[in-house]
Amino acid sequence: METTDRLILSLLAAEGRMSFTDLGKATGLSTSAVHQRVKRLESKGLIRGYAALIDHEQLGRPLTAFISITPIDPAQPDDYPERLVEIPEIESCWSVAGEESYILKIRVATPSDLENLLARVRAAANVSTRTTIVLSTAYENRPLD
């Protein structure tokens, strides 16, 4: 990948709403050249979308946790993401190597909401869970170098 394309990706990762004009100034390209490059990066799948960064505390869900899930019966079909997709508190679901099958990133309002969520996850997916509560976040969703 070209250095200029990497720079465009880095700039957009840091500020997804950056205009083509500002991208052009930062890269030394014309607005139309930047527009063409961004469209090409989108069509290649390097840019999959644009998103707002949400302040979850102000939204009323200040408690973040990671829930590792392990099947109770390893012979079950591996369809846990589908079983859990309707639970809105689950922000992310990653398939992982190791003892656990998946790790879920969740956001809730209170410890009792977390307790309720754990019961719902266990019932929906027939899994055991291990939970890690986030105390603080030093950084998240860091832009590219």
* CATH code for the domain in which residue 39 is found: 1.10.10.10
Which of 77, 65, 63 has the alpha carbon at shortest distance from 127? 77
Q: Is 92 part of a structural domain of the chain?
A: yes
Give the whole-angstrom CA distance, residue 106 versus residue 64.
Answer: 6
Statement to judge: residues 64 and 116 lie in one domain: yes
Same domain, residue pair 73 and 117: yes
* Predicted TM-score (pTM) of this structure: 0.81
Range of the domain at 30: 3-44
Look at the chain and count its residues: 145
Same domain, 63 and 128: yes
Structural domains of the chain, count: 2
Is residue 141 domain-resident?
Answer: no
Q: Are residues 123 and 66 in the same domain?
A: yes
Q: Is 80 exposed, middle or buried (0-12, 13-18, 19+ CB in 10 A)?
A: buried
The per-residue pLDDT string of the chain (145 residues; one tens digit each, 9 = 90 and over) reads 689 999 999 999 888 899 999 999 999 999 999 999 999 999 999 999 988 888 999 999 999 999 999 999 989 999 999 999 999 999 999 999 999 999 999 999 999 999 999 999 999 999 999 999 999 999 888 777 6
Residues 106 and 127 in one domain: yes
Residues 69 and 103 occupy one common structural domain:
yes
Neighbours of 113 (CB within 10 A): 15
CATH of the domain at 68: 3.30.70.920
